[in-house]
Chain A
Amino acid sequence: MPSLKDLKNRIASVKNTRKITKAMQMVAAAKLRRAQEAAEASRPYTERFNAVLGGLAASVGGSDSAPKLLAGTGSDQTHLLVVMTAERGLCGGFNSNIAKLARAKAQDLIAAGKTVKVLTVGKKGRDALKREYGELFVGHVDLTEVKRVGYDDAQGIARNILDRFDGGEFDVATIFYAKFVNVVTQIPTAQQIIPASFEDAEADGASTLYDYEPSEEAILADLLPRGVATQIFAALLENGASEQGSRMSAMDNATRNAGDMIDKLTIEYNRSRQAVITNELIEIISGAEAL
């Protein structure tokens, strides 16, 4: 049976925790709005870019001279998994869900006899995968210092990946991130970026005949590396919104749990206080009777 003093201390400490989680929730809500705005602002670019690139890819893709970024290296022996997670924790299942998806994919690939390499973006994903796949890590991109994700950050990551591709380090690259649906739902997603695949864009893009300046191949060769950056940028933004959304609901839950705990502890506190008073009364009355 904890003493009254102990109970009081515990209530005070849970109240402090509640204040912190409440503050984190509100900060996450504000950041979420900004992250969503950023994601929406980038959408016109991504859509147009993919429509044009998809159309180009459809018309050039069949030929033998198609760039490697589009047609692949002709093998799928070595896979690069780009695991994009948050730099910070306390955001519910966000980081672990992405890591789980990446882990499942890595297991499948290893079971199929493929070589797997892992590039992590964001500290939490690296921590989650280090124990099992630490020896497969080829690099890590640190975004701790980045306050607001810009296109330049995405380009940096894309260059990192493309340099490795040009160096023949891998044949297929897949990015892992969480798609933002709403505050309670974020879907961990795996998306293949090299060789590029366009399922939905091909239909409408290919119908228009364009003049190309300079040549069709030159434009395509110019656009494909940028397509990688664009997809990574979109994924980073989705991830940003997902992280804040996930943190917001996690902190909402934590705040509510803390409230429940305070209620329970307060009842216990009141009961033990009453018990002490009753005990004292009994002692006084039995003392008086003895006289």
Chain B
Amino acid sequence: MANMMQFDLVSPERSLASFQVTSVQIPGADGDMTAMPGHAATLTSLRPGVVKVQSPEGDKDFVVTRGFAEISADSISVIAEHAHVGGDVTKADLEDVLSAARAAAENADADDKDAAEKFVADMVDLLDAMD
């Protein structure tokens, strides 16, 4: 099928999803992007956010924090450090990550400070968006 692509979402602890989709919206480090079949091969790192998947069986959301996505013309793999199925995730799950990130940002040295603070800000955005 030309207008479909294989979507895989894996986290270190388990594989969360693997099915055919029509498009995927990814929270890339430099901004959201939507990948559809035939997309140029791209490798992007992720910021904390929501991966939105459209498939013939309906739409699905996944919450991811850190990780990267590998996009090719006929497949897309999201390799996330933490991933949850959209409906299952609670704010409490993510608040642990946020507090850990805050602590890391405070202790980070000058080189990493920006990246750590950006991560905290992205996490806050994500939590706000869930309200």
Contacts and interface: CB of A to CB of B under 8 A. Distances in A.
A1 B101 CA distance: 70
B43 A45 contact: no
Interface residues of B, number: 25
A224 to B, nearest CB: 12
Contact of A44 (B15, B40, B72, B82): B15
Q: Identify which of A38, A48, A151 gathers the most chain B CB atoms within 10 Å of its CB.
A: A48
B94 to A, nearest CB: 14
B12 interface: yes
A214 B29 contact: yes
B41 A52 contact: no
Given A52-B79, A209-B41, A211-B41, A230 B12 contact: yes
- Majority secondary structure, A binding face: helix
Contacts of B82: 151
A49 B79 contact: yes
A44 B43 contact: no
Given A42-B14, A45-B10, A45-B11, A219 B77 contact: no
Contacts of B14: 41-42
A279 interface: no
B13 interface: yes
B10 A52 contact: no
A139 interface: no
Interface in A204-257: 208-214, 218-219, 222-223, 226, 230, 233
A72 interface: no
A50 B81 CA distance: 14
Interface of B: 8, 10-15, 28-30, 33, 40-45, 66, 68, 70, 72, 77, 79, 81-82
Q: Lowest 3 A-B CB distances belong to which pairs?
A: A213-B44, A151-B12, A41-B14
29 contacts: A41-B13, A44-B8, A44-B10, A45-B10, A45-B11, A45-B79, A46-B12, A48-B8, A48-B10, A48-B79, A52-B43, A52-B79, A56-B43, A150-B13, A151-B11, A208-B41, A208-B72, A210-B41, A210-B70, A212-B42, A213-B33, A213-B45, A214-B45, A219-B44, A219-B45, A219-B68, A222-B45, A226-B81, A230-B12
Interface of A: 38, 41-42, 44-46, 48-49, 52, 56, 150-151, 154, 208-214, 218-219, 222-223, 226, 230, 233
